[in-house]
Structure 1
């Protein structure tokens, strides 16, 4: 016997037919869009020397250019690191290091990882070259170490002979000279880490005080690590590392006390919207992520997906690729950064015309932040723009100098600052969309439920329990599913019919036949 949407199951599995009157369906109403529109990416935001490279990646992979673009900016920030900072005010000591965190937000099919991996290639090439140099240095070090060993043995022998002759002062002088000749092993220059504990990362940072980049193709795994009880202090470490100015000390049994003199880490990776959503909601609800962590995701982008595809198979643009690498190589190995003046990090300032523009921009930002018209999460997010815009201007400026083969640092230009401000306007639209994942979570979930209906994974008679037990991404939170079902009822897509079992009441949802026809 088949069961109609209006039938009711009663005790012992008996079916009571048509116990509910026929449903009078209202007109289907469109679900309000859960996501705000975003600015499309403008290639003019990039340093001129990287534009063709990023365009080539986007065209060949048919991915949004936003993904490789933020990858390029974050990897540039990692190469510059603490080599030079910027003091955004003309006289004040406020110092900003151009350290960036970038997240590519999109569905699994959005080509996030391949796009970011392409943007990572210049750093990988620098790492290979650094590893080769380190191997050569190790060969030299082994010879030097053996020479020192033989010299020390001879000095020890000579010192013993001097002691026998009663020349203790001479023996002591010999042994002191031997101790002074100890040579430390060469350290390997690193740019990228993929999966390291903060203890190991601390050791690597001491060897690479300019900073490191953490790359994770799926950043949600990193976030889950930060949620673990046994890694409770890790988030504090990462938050501290974002600013790029501080140091850090941790104490561990077995490792003792480790002082990290310079703690600067960039972060780059991809994440699905549904996996990011719980962290956004937690931030808005004043949970454990209401600590400024989410607001540090300043280069987080969630672009529109084109929906079109065509087969493309051609060689990468070698000239564009080489031009881009030359910029990274010049920053890493050729540019002469200024020496620090009574402080740890050297710095430059804006040029005179750029300084006037920065004052104008900062004044507008500060007035908006104080008006009280912004949602609290956006207000908190935009406060980080005080340092983001100078950081972007610095990075773009250094990249332009490298492309022009100017190895002496100049003040940050107005052109670079204009691009940085335009980056801020673009990124703001993406921040509003991303925070909308949490602000309008029931709309997102409602659309996901309709998708499951369209795919035939839900049919009339389904329950909220059916949805939650399926474990579908974005549909695992009880309150979110409940709110989404209520929204779908309000917009005439479904009707919940109360059924009574042996121990509890359950709502079974009938689907509007008009929606089924459309699918």
Structure 2
């Protein structure tokens, strides 16, 4: 009796190389103790204590504090390396790590003091609002009396009396904010138009917010957030109001976390408009679980953030608010120029988003130097205020950005110089897994209009990489005329990711 052997489509295929769809991860950079103290000065011990208390990598705490301090500083102080170049202090920080890496606890170490200040601001607003409402009610009586007197005067043919000052309580008080979490761009613009200084957007998970802005998925917010990094003026026209929202300086710092696989998906889908490249990205190794031996000095962080927010602004000739411009010393400008030239060398050996990130590092150094200078002052706000940014501030910022954040970004973004056909293969691999493709043609990939896969030649080069990795096989239909080529997907990929 013959035994019927069931057909197994997977039997004729080798196991696919799953690393083709995964980024290449260099080791996590580590900053030594002396090096860390040199960069962060009076805040180095606080950062280490906070990291120990929260059982989180100190890199998470460091960039969270820098971003939060930049928001507190806001539009009160802008850095000027030289004539024609002005930078707001706005910093964006992305904490990359697995779910248990300590991202949220590290954020809490910095954001909990902000919440304390937010509560104080809410109490101040409630008191001011109650006082205004009382004055407004009294003003209503005065206004009613003035209207009656004016009406009587006009009826008698006389001149109406002048409107008394106490007939108008003025505009209601503005509710000051430091931190926002999930908010529309129109609401952000409205807050900034009334509070002026700047805001901090804090998100426990950044990937969902970032992916919602993808221009190929109907998102329209990316231009807004690109402007929010630059601190430029911005206007939003509203459908339900004749008056637009006008923001003098659209400045929003950002801090939040994401997981490596979610970042990888963002990198595959992302069109390189520079949004992701603007983030200070840290991807450290997890720290061992241990019981903390110290307590977090939350009062110190509260005092520093409060001091930074208390810095006054300048005014122009018309009396409008504007930032104070803090200029670089000559030595600081020279150090920055040397760093710019070094970045040009690094760019030559990079590609893709990592290259874009390197191109933005000189501007990042200017911002970090400004924030470090003011954090030094905020550690002792009774001391001399910051009147210039010197070579020490710039040197510390150059070292942190160039020697520490750059390797972190390299680790997060993958290899510095991946061949274009391998990058294309990674994109197609992600499409296959996300959409469950089983049979397709070159034009099916071209129609998706993904970067680096616009021509048939680019797509075929990427498909050759996937065939070498046992993801695909070529099928030719030779039924007369020019053969039609399709690509079938390895059935062993089903259920794998």
TM norm structure 2: 0.76
1-side partners of 2:346 and 2:294: how far apart?
47
Deviations 1:166-189 (A, max 9, x none): 11x3x1x424x4698341100011
Which residue number in structure 1 is paired with residue 26 of structure 2? 36
8 A Cα contact 1:336 1:409, kept in partner: no
2-side partners of 1:408 and 1:113: how far apart?
33
After TM superposition, list the pairs within 5 Å mapping 1:295-314 onto structure 2.
295-297=277-279, 299-306=280-287, 308-310=288-290, 312=291
Deviations 1:91-133 (A, max 9, x none): x121111111111111111121121122112222221111111
8 A Cα contact 1:218 1:270, kept in partner: yes
Counterpart among 376, 380, 388 of residue 400 in structure 1: 376
Which residue number in structure 1 is paired with residue 451 of structure 2? none
After TM superposition, list the pairs within 5 Å mapping 1:243-282 onto structure 2.
243-244=230-231, 246-256=232-242, 257-282=244-269
Structure 1 residues without counterparts, runs of 5 or longer: 284-288, 447-463, 470-478, 497-503, 511-519
Q: How far off its partner does 1:509 sit?
A: 5.2
Range 274-283 or range 421-430, more displaced? 274-283
8 A Cα contact 2:233 2:250, kept in partner: yes
8 A Cα contact 2:200 2:254, kept in partner: yes
- 2:76 is paired with a residue of what secondary structure? coil
Question: Residues 364, 339 of structure 1: CA spacing in aligned structure 2 closer, same or farther, 3 A cutoff?
Answer: farther
Counterpart among 187, 196, 203 of residue 216 in structure 1: 203
1-side partners of 2:344 and 2:188: how far apart?
36
Which residue number in structure 1 is paired with residue 296 of structure 2? 317
After TM superposition, list the pairs within 5 Å mapping 1:13-412 onto structure 2.
34-42=24-32, 43-44=36-37, 47-89=40-82, 92-167=83-158, 169=159, 171=160, 173-175=161-163, 177=164, 181-227=168-214, 232-244=219-231, 246-256=232-242, 257-283=244-270, 289-297=271-279, 299-306=280-287, 308-310=288-290, 312=291, 316-318=295-297, 321-333=298-310, 335-336=311-312, 344-366=322-344, 369=347, 372-405=348-381, 406=383, 408-412=385-389
The higher radius of gyration belongs to: 1
Counterpart among 428, 439, 444 of residue 406 in structure 2: 428
Q: How far off its partner does 1:483 sit?
A: 9.3
1-side partners of 2:134 and 2:217: how far apart?
44
What is the aligned length? 438
Structure 2 residues without counterparts, runs of 5 or longer: 427-431, 438-458, 474-486
Deviations 1:60-109 (A, max 9, x none): 232211111111000000000110101112xx121111111111111111
Which residue number in structure 2 is paired with residue 499 of structure 1? none
2-side partners of 1:506 and 1:131: how far apart?
58
8 A Cα contact 2:56 2:105, kept in partner: no
- 2:378 is paired with a residue of what secondary structure? helix
Counterpart among 6, 9, 22 of residue 6 in structure 2: 9
8 A Cα contact 1:340 1:347, kept in partner: no
CA-atom RMSD in angstroms: 4.0
Q: How far off its partner does 1:431 sit?
A: 1.4
8 A Cα contact 1:84 1:346, kept in partner: yes
1-side partners of 2:376 and 2:246: how far apart?
35
8 A Cα contact 1:338 1:409, kept in partner: no
Question: Residues 465, 386 of structure 1: CA spacing in aligned structure 2 closer, same or farther, 3 A cutoff?
Answer: closer
TM norm structure 1: 0.73
Q: How far off its partner does 1:353 sit?
A: 3.1
- 2:281 is paired with a residue of what secondary structure? strand
8 A Cα contact 1:101 1:266, kept in partner: yes
Question: Residues 361, 52 of structure 1: CA spacing in aligned structure 2 closer, same or farther, 3 A cutoff?
Answer: same
8 A Cα contact 1:50 1:324, kept in partner: no
Question: Residues 179, 118 of structure 1: CA spacing in aligned structure 2 closer, same or farther, 3 A cutoff?
Answer: same
2-side partners of 1:160 and 1:359: how far apart?
70
8 A Cα contact 2:26 2:415, kept in partner: no
Q: How far off its partner does 1:386 sit?
A: 2.1
Question: Residues 230, 317 of structure 1: CA spacing in aligned structure 2 closer, same or farther, 3 A cutoff?
Answer: closer
8 A Cα contact 1:351 1:412, kept in partner: yes
Question: Residues 276, 230 of structure 1: CA spacing in aligned structure 2 closer, same or farther, 3 A cutoff?
Answer: closer
